[in-house]
Structure 1
Amino acid sequence: MESTEDDRASRYANQIQGLRKELDTGIENARRNGKRYRRWSFWLVLGTVIASFAGTILAGLDDVPKLALAITTALPGVLTLVSNSLKLEGRSIWFYKKRNALKSIRTRLLFPGENEIDIAALAKEQDDLRIQMSNEWAEQLTLVATQQQR
């Protein structure tokens, strides 16, 4: 009898540990990806500003080859198109939103209050979040070309 309760307690502790590890991994991955997309978005905006400024300067000079001027003046539009098509800022926000939701679940796992931890409910909440976030990605963050094919 005591062995069965020990087994149950051990299984319960392992489930908590497994869920915690899964949440920690998800939180770290979401943070890393959010930061990566935010960084790419920043560099594209900065590149657009620099290319626009360079195009303005080159347009005022007399000895600039037409091809160089054409490429430099086209670059801001191309960078803006890439930025808007990839939706980098939206993707960054999506990952930070996911991270915050996972942190909320982890907090309830670590600090259950006076109640016993309901691992099944927390795992279901994590699964529901996964489905919700996947649907949100599909609806809002797919590439422009992909959306036009639907």
Structure 2
Amino acid sequence: MTARKACRGAITVEFALVAPLVLFVLVCALDLARVAVARILLERSLYEIGHELRLARGEGLDGIAARVLDANHHLLFDPDAVEVRASHADDLAALADDAGEAGGGGPGQVVELTLEAELGGVLRPAAEAPPYQLRTLLINEPEF
């Protein structure tokens, strides 16, 4: 038996040992990229929800949120696993003291939008991962 034939078997064994590790690292990197892009899409979705809610003067949060999330998920997150909540008050101090009421508020009121999403991943399933949370403040358009 020549040395070349003996090496052929060693190369096959090395490939069999290294290939799963390389594949696992590749899958983890792709999933990390998916989560990063999903976070960017969720931030953009929250901005759009806030913009539309402000123009609607606080009415119809559920319908606006569902429409925007359905349009922006691009198969990177489940829109049904995203919760959007709103609380409103007449001024920012009341919201800071947790004295705000639930809902989108009325014309001229300060609104805090909170988005929670379960993104999960390869290493940490959605059930075990803490939810991704975003918050933003806005002021509804006043009545003219």
Which has the larger strand fraction? 2
TM interval, shorter chain, is: 0.3 to 0.5
- Bigger RCO of structures 1 and 2 (CA < 8 A, at least 6 apart): 1
